[in-house]
Amino acid sequence: MKWTELSDNWCPVARTLSVVGDRWTLLILRDCFLGLSRFEQFIESSGMTRHILAERLKRLVEAGILERRQYSAGPKRYDYVLTEKGQELAPALMTLKDWGKKHMPVRRSTNA
Amino acid sequence: MKWTELSDNWCPVARTLSVVGDRWTLLILRDCFLGLSRFEQFIESSGMTRHILAERLKRLVEAGILERRQYSAGPKRYDYVLTEKGQELAPALMTLKDWGKKHMPVRRSTNA
DNA sequence: TCCATAAGTTTCATTTTGGAACTAAGGCAA
DNA sequence: TTGCCTTAGTTCCAAAATGAAACTTATGGA
């Protein structure tokens, strides 16, 4: 079975994961909750490649979790902000944060 | 940057995702919370391939989230149960479930 | 003897990721 | 008006992960 077929699964957890359950996606949302909104900011903060970031942002917009917003009219530029639907993923990020703090101690400092 | 390098990230969300943030892993844990524990059960319930399941189970055991337990001495057989550490992922699964119920309506019935 | 169970492994084609360079559309300064 | 800067992407290609299906190992039972 392919991962993408999960969007029609009977289980709400599976359906959720079909949108945010692949590599990097939840990390982008973490950045959004930290106040970041621009392409270059996501790149710097998360360490993912531009390639993947562009693809993930497209999917998150299609899923109605982020909104693509023009923030500059001169050289047309766009950033990404959480929709209401996206905001409501906050509790999920919080639980993952709490678990990480408790069960995943830092082994070496990377300062980034 | 590679996904696996996230285990040393400053952010606890990122560190958590380095263990449970790839395809299928959280779905295995969902099954555990539903009371499943055997290889064939996970296969049937989740729809993932044996290949991937075997690899994920190995990683979850190494991470201390599941415990591999011999349940039959005749033909030696093993199953997998949540450790205390694994149990504590319950809140994360719950938040993902709640979000899915609210924001990911089922589009067609698959009965599985 | 032969089939069934159940936890894996192996093989190979397809898809996704990672890394790096490249493009587009202006802005700005000399 | 030339040329470099910024910023959001796209393109290319090699490497790694995934998907599908067959195969293995060890035993129990008809």
Asked if B62 has any chain A CB less than 8 Å from its own CB, the reply is no
Asked if residue B66 lies in contact with residue B31, where contact means CB atoms within 8 angstroms, the answer is no
Per-residue pLDDT of A27-64, as tens digits, reads: 999 999 999 999 999 999 999 999 999 999 999 999 99
Q: Quick one: tokens of B91?
A: 């809140």
**How far apart (Å, rounded) are the C-alpha atoms in residues B49 and B1?**
27
Give the contacts of B84 (CB within 8 A, at least 6 positions apart): none
Asked if A27 has any chain B CB less than 8 Å from its own CB, the reply is yes
Asked if residue B85 lies in contact with residue A103, where contact means CB atoms within 8 angstroms, the answer is yes
Provide the CA B65 distance to its chain's centre, in angstroms: 9
| Nearest CA-CA partner of B96 in A80, A99, A11 | A11
Kindly report which amino acid residue has its CA closest to the C1' atom of nucleotide D6. A75
Q: Give strand D nucleotides closer than 7 A to any protein Cβ.
A: 6-12, 17-22, 26-28
Which of B89, B97, B102 minimises the CB distance to A99? Answer: B89
Per-residue pLDDT of B13-53, as tens digits, reads: 999 999 999 999 999 999 999 999 999 999 999 999 999 99
